[in-house]
Homo-oligomer: A and B are copies of this chain.
Amino acid sequence: MEFRFDEALPVLQRTPAVLRALLLDLPRVWTEAREGDGSWSPFDVVGHLIHGERTNWMPRIEHLLRYGEQVAYPPFDREAMFAASAGRSLAELLDTFAGLRVDSLSRLNALGLTDADLEKRGCHPEFGLVTLGQQLSTWVVHDLGHVRQIVRVMARQYTDAVGPWRAYLSIVRSG
């Protein structure tokens, strides 16, 4: 399937509500659960999404439109949220993410992009040539991937508790 604005925007718009429905006021054994040392909790993931909203998605799209292939994107710190989220509640983080996502989509809309713009080219610091369509598609898949990560981390807390059903529940076994 190719990227289309009218199909992708409804996914991006929904992510804050999905995270709220899943996580708001949920017991901390779930929201602070991890899969092992160095892995991220649902709380950490929401912080990562906030940081992405601030420094990754719209900033990179605007960078690509401004500089094309001439100037590579600045690098993105995938773990900046560990400092930025410290001392904040999950409810605050969910609200912050929701507000930032509304702002991002409003900035995107203000650019008045059309399908013809999707072929515009930028430069990624690691893998070189990328298109605006690839960047926008990645935003959608990145959201979905982190929803997947959150439910997987939660499910794995019951890896032993499900007993013999483990064999049928791939979420507690595979990536």
Contacts and interface: CB of A to CB of B under 8 A. Distances in A.
Interface of A: 1-3, 6-7, 10-11, 14, 17-18, 20-22, 25-27, 29-30, 33, 124, 127-128, 130-131, 133-134, 137-138, 140-142, 144-145, 147-148, 151-152, 154-155, 157-158, 160-165, 167, 169-172, 174-175
Contact of A134 (B30, B138, B145, B165): B165
Contact of A142 (B2, B131, B148, B169): B169
Contacts of A21: 14, 17-18, 20-21
Q: Which of A6, A11, A144 counts the most chain B CB atoms within 10 A? A: A144
A3 B158 contact: yes
A33 B127 CA distance: 29
Contacts of A20: 21
B14 A29 contact: no
A124 to B, nearest CB: 7
A124 B175 CA distance: 27
A83 B134 CA distance: 38
11 contacts: A1-B158, A1-B161, A10-B25, A10-B26, A10-B27, A14-B26, A137-B161, A137-B163, A137-B165, A141-B162, A148-B171
A162 B134 contact: yes
B174 A174 contact: yes
A30 B141 CA distance: 12
Contacts of A170: 145, 175
